[in-house]
Structure 1
């Protein structure tokens, strides 16, 4: 009787979610930093980037965007070895996360000046530069780069030659790099990689399921989402380090996996990542505003793969994390007065991270559950606590690894305690 009733409720839930897919959100219209209409998540026309290599024969200088993860829409020569690069978003208006990526070289060794200008945005990210085809990267220093305070444009001055110099808003992380990472981690016997759906442009949406056999009749499940917004690479990288630690060979991780499975979707917006988008997928939709009506194939694929957990007697969802990046490292938890399971876990976890990692400034800003985002859907669907885990987009590489690894260790210790308290 119990299983029949649960199956019936599951069917009702699926039907209700499907019928609501054509509606628009009336309860929530956006955060203060969102453009108007952000919660209308039907397909939109976007401004496609024209892939090309632009050459200036009088200078012997060449600039290209003909590779994955690039963005530069036009280049204008304003003087000898001086160029204005125009960078446009895929839609407008849009959040100010102005991604750029291009390669520049010259027939002979020379010094060039590049002005980064934007439509519907202003310069934000200090450039990452690679002189060896992306093998190593370095942040532009104050000699080669400055942001003009009045015009808010970025100016890069550097020496180039016949070998292309790669300049990018963040160290690029396209579907190529993700596939390499997931190939490596999926070699472990207890990690299963599967395709749960496809993006608009046919790129796979991957799930990594970390599940090791144990004698527990009911195991907990932790949900992890990532890279809904393409430029937010520091949060994405922190999330990868977090996942790696949960899947590590440490005694703590082994014990954690006796009690918990991890269902993770580290790269939810592969189209945006490969097309160099500022914010959205290939139809101009902010995926982290599509967790109410699921009009987009990316969010809908993840939802479909998770809903069967409602009907399983051998699994109980405990927590959800959604990794992002912004102008500070900050946790966005659910308001304390809202009942969750485990109760107030995010706040307790945050306190422990602050205590263990005092050198990393970590802030907190609670939010209600009215917005159509991944964290809130996870709470409403499974009754759990959840957090949007935002990482400062200027945090150094070694700090990203430290934050991801050590916050995962603290998380595992606390989650084991919660499991033993609730399930034993």
Structure 2
């Protein structure tokens, strides 16, 4: 028996692994940070023997409530990921599984590898609609990528979409893949119409360093990027620094920041009701955006979500709040679950990569619904 996390986005420490029924593991903390929750490892075990893996530090993780009613994901081929029996007693997360093949991967959510990220960027670059912009290097020396989709023009509305500020929220990049697939489909009428009067600025992965390192929430030096939007620096948060600089150059009419939520088993939007500039125009646009999503997909709902900020009390270090205030624009944080959509559960797969991608495609319909009114 052998357990390893020595690969892209891998994260686990093996404390004890001599007996298949008594495997003790721990999740590593993000570098220079106390955050941890993401795990991703490979088990070489005995086929037909139940392996009981106990993650003994789960109860002290960043979001311990996230383990309640959660089921870990497993895969033999790293393409199809399925849910496996998982229990949480308040301290220890226990995964019990009998392998059918010699090796099997386990992960907190379906990984989106750095290799796939690079493939996505280069695939998009092949379209005549796309300009691939290098924004700058990360602290680990990786490239920050921006995809400009559509022909830039001052008269066109500027729609910005960023994903994966928190690297463990890999469903966010699956969302982007689905959104780009529809946006670059020249037989999709809504996409074609959108690109006549709008330009999309898409950052598929805001945190490539944290993604490769197997972090939950921070970049290479332990910075939570979604608390850096007031005063980003090249020393601590170059990823935000580059993106905000590009936003200043283009302007922003609509901003979507794509995330995953550990606790809530729903898809939902967090708006910017608490920013000083928020007014009736923003509120009307926000309602139209939500109503459109409600009408086209049962995966979205508005009953459950975060508490709405009171007027003037928004945290302006958070991306959606900061961008809304800076550019007087409609902005949302979109959250997807690590568990499942409780309103439409799937026992085998839970919330998945495919469902994330489909939601990304569906959100374009909501963008289409509000696009013409963004500057009214």
Bin of the TM-score, shorter chain as denominator length? 0.7 to 0.9
The equivalent position to 2:41 in structure 1, one of 74, 99, 102, is 102
**Aligned with 1:207: secondary structure?**
strand
Which runs of structure 2 are paired with 1:155-234 in the superposition (5 Å)? 155-159=95-99, 163-212=102-151, 218-234=155-171
Which runs of structure 2 are paired with 1:259-298 in the superposition (5 Å)? 259-295=197-233, 296-298=237-239
**Aligned with 1:418: secondary structure?**
coil
Alignment partner, residue 360 of structure 2? 404
Q: 1:222 to 1:126 in 2, by over 3 A?
A: same
Counterpart Cα distance in 2 of 1:137 and 1:110: 20
When normalised by structure 1's length, the TM-score is 0.74
Which contiguous aligned blocks of 4+ residues in structure 1 show a shift greater than 6 angstroms?
A: none
Alignment partner, residue 331 of structure 1? 269
* Deviation, structure 1 residue 385: 1.6
Q: Does 1:117 align with 2:56?
A: yes
* Deviation, structure 1 residue 107: 6.8
Counterpart Cα distance in 2 of 1:126 and 1:412: 35
Q: 1:183 to 1:259 in 2, by over 3 A?
A: same
Q: Which has the larger radius of gyration?
A: 1
Counterpart Cα distance in 2 of 1:306 and 1:93: 28
Alignment partner, residue 308 of structure 2? 366
Counterpart Cα distance in 2 of 1:75 and 1:160: 24
Number of residue pairs matched? Answer: 345
* Deviation, structure 1 residue 108: 6.8
Counterpart Cα distance in 2 of 1:80 and 1:390: 36
Counterpart Cα distance in 1 of 2:74 and 2:128: 37
The equivalent position to 1:241 in structure 2, one of 178, 183, 186, is 178
Counterpart Cα distance in 2 of 1:84 and 1:339: 50
* Deviation, structure 1 residue 130: 1.2
The equivalent position to 2:87 in structure 1, one of 108, 131, 147, is 147
Alignment partner, residue 244 of structure 2? 303
Counterpart Cα distance in 1 of 2:15 and 2:242: 38
Q: Does 1:378 align with 2:332?
A: no
**Aligned with 1:343: secondary structure?**
helix
Could you give the per-residue CA deviations for residues 116-153 of structure 1, whole angstroms, max 9, x where no partner exists?
Answer: 22263147352211112x1322222xxxx221334342
Question: Do the aligned partners of 1:127 and 1:168 also contact (CA within 8 Å) in 2?
Answer: yes
Counterpart Cα distance in 1 of 2:32 and 2:150: 42
Q: 1:217 to 1:321 in 2, by over 3 A?
A: closer
Could you give the per-residue CA deviations for residues 279-333 of structure 1, whole angstroms, max 9, x where no partner exists?
Answer: 11110110000111102111111122222225xxxxxx31111001112322111
Gaps of 5+ in 1: 1-60, 311-316
Counterpart Cα distance in 2 of 1:174 and 1:248: 24
* Deviation, structure 1 residue 410: 2.6
Counterpart Cα distance in 1 of 2:138 and 2:2: 33
Counterpart Cα distance in 2 of 1:135 and 1:113: 24
Counterpart Cα distance in 1 of 2:280 and 2:118: 34
Counterpart Cα distance in 2 of 1:408 and 1:271: 28
* Deviation, structure 1 residue 237: 1.9
Question: Do the aligned partners of 1:85 and 1:117 also contact (CA within 8 Å) in 2?
Answer: yes
- Farther-moved stretch of structure 1 (331-340 vs 64-73): 331-340
Q: Does 1:84 align with 2:39?
A: no
**Aligned with 1:305: secondary structure?**
helix
The equivalent position to 2:73 in structure 1, one of 121, 128, 131, is 128
**Aligned with 1:274: secondary structure?**
helix
When normalised by structure 2's length, the TM-score is 0.83
Counterpart Cα distance in 1 of 2:47 and 2:196: 60
